[in-house]
Amino acid sequence: MASSSPQSKYRFSLVVLVLCFIVGSLVAVASASNFNKDFEITWGDGRGKILNNNELLMLSLDKGSGSGFQSTNEYLFSKIDIQLKLVPGNSAGTVTAYYLASEGLTWDEIDFEFLGNLSGDPYILHTNVYSQGKGNREQHFSVDDAPIREFKNLESIGVPFPKNQPMRSSLWNADDWATRGGLVKTDWTKAPFTASYRNFNAINACVWSSGASSCTSKSPSSTSSAGNTWLSQEFDLGSQEKLKWVQRNYMIYNYCKDTKRFPQGFPKNAHYCLEKLRRETLIDPFFRFDVPFRSRLASARETRLGIIK
């Protein structure tokens, strides 16, 4: 984690707005990021590459190593769009991770991990929120163009909340747990495995740099323009109904119900779990989600991550 913390006035709740499944190959959209300017490849010994006039970034994994990259900016809040093409075919044992994470022992992290699959089997999207180095907040979902999560800012009652974080991504081997609990191993004869990224866009981002924020105001007027309307977006009844539908049809794991995992009682914030279950609350403040996606060859998935003040 960075040594400096954002000012307390920058309080926000985290909402995973949409995970869209897009059939077909990666397609061009209105905005195109410059990966050479906005990102740096952080590991992989040449396995990560920036191509196509800096508009495409590709990570690869072989038996020797995976690869990864991170953004040059650290974000306090933003709506983040990216097109991500997952490993096609037999990707069992691999993990393609797309996440925000700070540095240090008490790091903050908001992550999406796409767990590889056998050809034709669903992808699992494994997500988590770490606050000050602590996670253990799991639920598992299948999602198709529906909101799946809200992580509320409850620092006022002692609940840690994520701070300034670069956007990162990595492709790595995790065949000890990623596919069917580790029963299915990585088939290295299919290597190298590749994942591709394009059209990154951090919309109306509040960037943390050199101990200061790029945000000048959080007044209503600062969110009045058409491009900023998402900043004042609330989790309305329609979104709650979509979330309820997702939970009913696609949730495959919820740590709030896992008494075998927590025989001595739930972690901190467990009272929110119990209250949520008792009242059948639709908003999920303290959880991780895993989402099976039906994999298709040469398909793209656009991830929209909204962090709302």
Per-residue pLDDT tens over the stretch 130-140: 765 455 554 44
In a domain, 179, yes or no: yes
Asked about 109 being catalytic, the answer comes back as yes
Residue 139's pLDDT is 47
Per-chain mean pLDDT for the chain:
67
Residue 229's pLDDT is 61
> Considering the chain, what percentage of its residues have pLDDT values greater than 70?
55
Higher pLDDT, 250 or 162: 250
What's the CA gap between 3 and 45, in Å, rounded?
Answer: 29
What's the CA gap between 88 and 299, in Å, rounded?
Answer: 8
In a domain, 5, yes or no: no
**What CATH code is carried by the domain that includes residue 99?**
2.60.120.200
Residue 32's pLDDT is 52
In a domain, 118, yes or no: yes
In a domain, 1, yes or no: no
Burial of 83 (0-12, 13-18, 19+ CB in 10 A): buried
In a domain, 47, yes or no: yes
Run of H or E residues at 241? helix 237-250
What's the CA gap between 242 and 15, in Å, rounded?
Answer: 14
Instruction: Give the domain extent around 100.
Output: 13-308
Helix, strand, coil percentages in the chain from 3-state DSSP, rounded to 5: 15, 40, 45
In a domain, 287, yes or no: yes
Residue 137's pLDDT is 52
Asked about 280 being catalytic, the answer comes back as no
In a domain, 89, yes or no: yes
- pTM attached to this predicted model: 0.68
- Between 126-140, 226-240, 281-295, the lowest mean confidence (pLDDT) is in 281-295
Q: Is the pLDDT of residue 215 over 60?
A: yes
In a domain, 31, yes or no: yes
Domain count, the chain: 1
Residues near 137 by Cβ (< 8 Å), separated by ≥ 6? 128, 129, 255, 267, 269, 286, 287, 288
Q: Band of the pLDDT at 245, cuts 50, 70, 90? A: confident
Bridge partners of 101, per DSSP, are 109
Q: Band of the pLDDT at 254, cuts 50, 70, 90? A: confident
Q: Are 308 and 162 in contact (CB under 8 A)?
A: no
Higher pLDDT, 73 or 208: 73
Give me the catalytic one of 113, 138, 150, 302: 113
Give me the catalytic one of 74, 109, 150, 302: 109
